[in-house]
């Protein structure tokens, strides 16, 4: 440890600690402009200059490491004058438009101007007058307000690794821009905007809608993918105005993706119903909440009396909290007395590796998943590992992804080739000499090997299982899809498993129950079954059931097929907890009230109707969970990691198959800017990607004589489907990619995840 004295305060710090970090530990304030704790030290703005005894020159606190017995002075008249002059220099070209600037009230330049007492600029002011750039659908760019701190450039490079923007020109002509001033070509994550200290980069979804001093703030967990990011919901009068990050809170370290940062408009959507609906004579009519609960409970009692308990089934979505999922399965098993509890999640694979394991890995394999789309913040961790000089990243996928920039090797194979290559890798791990021998030796001998994969593809799970048996130290990272994909499994919302993964009698599967007329009443909590390819051929059979009750924030495609619908709260409107892909339990906090109840309230009221006494109280329900779920006994509900009994079940076996005999190999693309059908209710996300696009290679586009946004007919067997084209050179020739979980793609992917199809220009 080193001893350093800052403004007379003595602290002990680790070697390599900067003066700025030591000052923070000592409780001494040093002003900053270009520094950010997630970025490498830069030292551009010079606002953090300090005096060091024995040194003839001033030092930048953010870049200078402390030395033993160093004595630092941070606040002298000389330093104040220098800092004041620096701010005055920035203000020469900076427009004084604070009253109309969206950054007003949280602008670092404003704060420093006030702190240093700058009331008049002594230099000739020459404010710039360049046009505002709106080429990015989410971010407004006003280069006149830019102070050239470089934080946007650095975070786009060091964290996101897209390098969409850079310093252009030199000297007084310098500005932040894109290559050749082209439109933004980026992932729309908004990290650049989040670190901008002034109003140069602004949130277009929030633009001109409110002021920060009017807003209330609630810390909660994002309700989209399984990354489990901490977000700050900013709101006024129950209207969400923006979602932002806090660099000091959460496992995401202040990083968010496009859907987490900009997708919140679905919470405020005017398309959301507030009244329950009941179908009568083929038409839905509004009813009050109590009436809807009474109809559901009466119909359930009637169905149970007429057909028995096993005629009732419960389907649970990973959009539900742990508390809600627990109540759902308890209602089925303890009250209705049926084991017909289902979800579309898998218990074959459980959490193992975490963010720290990924970032510290020395050899990392990402197999058959575009992690930058499916789980973007986990993708940032993969990029962190890939950028380290002492780490190697290997990616196997049918097309190039942003990981290409940091991968030691990126293996692009058609789906039919991908699994053949995976078999070669497995054989190399067994000692066979082939093209993957070097990779296999490195992976087996690594101290911290990590394997990231898609847990919903059974063949990928089998490969992960084999790798775990061949590489003793490997950490497996199954990148689950939704915000509580793991939590609802833990809570027993899987056929044959009670809370805590305790085995129980397995019932018939959901498809068999619907198709075989065994299910007469189906309660669907949050799941949109109608867009799932595997149920496409039988989804209309829901019309034949005596009761299909659906809860969802929106009147979904599945709700349209039901006969009772209850609108419910989104993640920002309720308390509870989610369990992320790491197995980390994190707490939600209610921010706004949109005049609808939570799934928890619906379940509590239904349980009470059947004579089971339970309160709509999160803590009381958590007590029940800890009593009945051995995995969650004594768990820390705000950050605790669940300890699981296995990583991958024994006996997993699958064969890769591709159907059809067409010219092009079609495979599922991970949802662009979306997280299932839920986020498509966000106007701002959907205006960028609102329909499923067929992605093809430029060579194939030329061969088909199609241009960007033309329509192509996809032929599989006797069936034809029409999709708009997105031409992208990252897609290999002879293949095509199309996202699942769209109603329009469900009929096609019902045939299989991998298909050989023919493409024809649509006329």
> Which two three-digit tokens encode residue 301?
């009692």
Longest CA span, the chain: 92
The CATH number that domain 2-75 falls under is: 3.10.20.740
Detail the DSSP E strand segments found in 321-362. Answer: 341-342
| Extended strands (E) in 172-211 | 175-177, 201-203
SS (H, E, C) 258-296: HHHHHCCHHHHCCCCCCCCEEEECCEEEECCHHHHHHHH
Backbone phi, psi, residue 91, to 5°: -80, -10
Would you state the pLDDT for residue 123? 83
pLDDT of residue 243: 97
Identify the three-state secondary structure at position 213: helix
CA–CA separation, 614 and 637 (whole Å): 20
Residue 306 in tokens: 């007429």
pLDDT given at position 677: 77
Place of tokens 């833990």: 490
DSSP per residue, 91-130:
HTTS---GGG-TTTTS-HHHHHHHHTT--S--SPP----P
How far apart are the C-alpha atoms of 296 and 274, rounded to whole Å? 18
CATH of region 126-267: 3.30.70.20
The two structure tokens encoding residue 139: 């971010």
Element (H, E) at 698: helix 698-704
Q: Express each pLDDT in 514-526 by its tens digit.
A: 999 999 999 999 9
Count each helix (H run) and each strand (E run) in the chain, helices first. Answer: 23, 34
Question: What whole-number distance in Å separates Cα of residue 482 and Cα of residue 346?
Answer: 12
What is the structure's pLDDT at 679?
Answer: 83
CATH topology for 277-345+484-641? Answer: Rossmann fold (3.40.50)
Please write down the long-range contacts of 113-120, taking CB distance under 8 Å and 24 or more positions apart.
113/87, 115/31, 116/31, 116/80, 116/83, 116/84, 116/87, 117/84, 118/84, 118/87, 118/88, 118/91
The pLDDT value given to residue 640: 97
CATH topology of domain 664-761: Barwin-like endoglucanases (2.40.40)
Q: In which residue ranges of the chain is pLDDT below 50?
A: none
Domain 355-478 classification at class level:
alpha beta
Cα separation, 530 vs 526, in Å, equals 12
- Predicted pLDDT of residue 122: 86
pLDDT for 670 equals 81
- Tokens standing for 586? 């994190």
Element (H, E) at 502: strand 502-503
Residue 93 pLDDT = 87
pLDDT at 152: 96
SS3 category, 411: strand
Domain ranges of the chain: 2-75, 126-267, 277-345+484-641, 355-478, 664-761
Give the pLDDT of residue 61.
96
The tens digit of pLDDT for each residue in 144-198 reads 999 999 999 999 999 999 999 999 999 888 999 988 888 888 899 999 999 999 9
Cross-strand pairs, 664: 757
Q: What is the per-residue pLDDT for 184?
A: 84
């Amino acid at each position: 440890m080193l001893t350093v004295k800052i403004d007379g305060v003595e602290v002990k710090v680790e070697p390599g600690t900067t003066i700025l970090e030591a000052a923070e530990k000592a409780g001494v304030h040093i002003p900053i402009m270009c520094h950010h704790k997630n970025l490498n030290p830069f030292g551009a703005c010079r606002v953090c200059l300090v005096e060091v005894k024995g040194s003839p020159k001033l030092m930048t606190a953010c870049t200078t490491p402390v030395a033993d017995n160093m004595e630092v002075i941070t606040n002298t008249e000389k330093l104040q004058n220098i800092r004041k002059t620096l701010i005055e220099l920035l203000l020469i070209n900076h427009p004084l438009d604070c009253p109309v600037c969206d950054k007003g009230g949280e602008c670092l330049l404003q704060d420093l101007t006030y702190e240093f007492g700058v009331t008049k600029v002594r230099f000739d002011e020459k404010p710039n007058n360049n046009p505002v750039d709106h080429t990015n659908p989410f971010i407004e760019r006003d280069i006149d307000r830019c102070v050239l701190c470089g934080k946007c450039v650095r975070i786009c490079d060091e964290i996101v690794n897209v390098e969409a923007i850079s310093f252009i020109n030199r000297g007084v002509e310098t500005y932040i821009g894109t290559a050749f001033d082209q439109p933004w070509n980026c992932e729309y994550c908004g990290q650049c905007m989040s670190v901008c200290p002034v109003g140069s980069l602004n949130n277009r979804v929030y633009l001109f809608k409110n002021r920060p001093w009017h807003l209330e703030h609630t810390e909660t967990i994002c309700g989209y993918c399984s990354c489990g990011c901490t977000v700050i919901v900013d709101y006024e009068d129950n209207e969400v105005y923006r979602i932002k990050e806090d660099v000091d809170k959460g496992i995401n370290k202040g990083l968010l993706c496009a859907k987490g940062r900009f997708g919140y408009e679905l919470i405020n959507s005017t398309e959301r119903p507030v009244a329950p609906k009941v179908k009568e004579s083929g038409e839905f009519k509004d009813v009050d909440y109590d009436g809807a609960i009474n109809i559901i409970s009466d119909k359930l009692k009637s169905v149970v009396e007429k057909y028995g308990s096993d005629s009732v089934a419960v389907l649970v979505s990973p959009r539900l909290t742990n508390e809600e999922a627990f109540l759902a399965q308890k209602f089925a098993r303890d009250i209705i007395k049926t084991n017909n509890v289902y979800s579309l999640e898998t218990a074959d694979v459980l959490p193992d590796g975490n963010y720290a394991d990924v970032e510290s890995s020395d050899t990392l394999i990402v197999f058959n998943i575009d992690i930058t789309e499916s789980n973007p913040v986990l993708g940032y961790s993969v990029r962190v590992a890939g950028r380290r000089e002492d780490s190697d990243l290997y990616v196997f996928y049918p097309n190039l992804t942003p990981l290409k920039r940091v991968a030691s090797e990126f293996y692009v194979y058609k789906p039919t080739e991908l699994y053949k290559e995976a078999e070669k890798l497995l054989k190399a791990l067994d000692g066979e000499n082939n093209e993957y021998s070097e990779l296999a030796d490195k992976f087996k001998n690594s101290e911290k090997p990590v394997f990231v994969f898609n847990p919903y593809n059974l063949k990928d799970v089998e490969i992960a299982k084999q790798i775990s048996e061949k590489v003793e130290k490997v950490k497996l990272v199954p990148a689950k899809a939704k915000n509580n994909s793991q939590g609802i499994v833990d809570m027993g919302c899987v056929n044959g498993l009670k809370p805590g993964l305790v085995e129980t009698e397995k019932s018939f599967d959901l498809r068999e129950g619907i198709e075989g007329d065994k299910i007469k009443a189906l309660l669907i909590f949050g799941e949109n079954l109608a867009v799932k390819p595997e149920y496409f051929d039988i989804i209309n059979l829901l019309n034949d059931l005596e009761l299909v009750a659906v809860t969802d924030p929106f009147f979904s495609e599945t709700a349209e097929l039901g006969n009772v619908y209850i609108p419910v709260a989104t993640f920002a409107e309720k308390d509870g907890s989610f369990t992320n892909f790491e197995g980390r339990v994190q707490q939600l906090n209610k921010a706004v009230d949109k005049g609808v109840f939570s799934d928890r309230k619906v379940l509590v009221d239904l349980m009470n109707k059947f004579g089971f006494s339970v309160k709509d109280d999160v803590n009381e329900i958590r007590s029940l969970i800890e009593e009945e779920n051995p995995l969650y006994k004594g768990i820390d509900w705000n950050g605790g990691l669940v300890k699981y009994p296995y990583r991958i079940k024994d006996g997993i076996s699958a064969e890769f198959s591709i159907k059809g005999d067409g010219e092009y190999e079609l495979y599922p693309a991970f949802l662009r800017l979306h997280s299932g059908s839920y986020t498509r209710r966000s106007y701002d996300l959907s205006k960028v990607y609102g329909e499923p696009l067929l992605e093809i290679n430029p060579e194939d586009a030329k061969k088909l004589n199609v241009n960007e946004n033309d329509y192509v007919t996809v032929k599989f067997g006797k069936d034809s489907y029409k999709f708009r084209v997105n031409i992208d050179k990252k897609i290999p020739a002879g293949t095509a990619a199309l996202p699942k979980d769209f109603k329009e793609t469900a009929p096609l992917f019902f045939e299989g995840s991998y298909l050989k199809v023919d493409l024809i220009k649509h006329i």
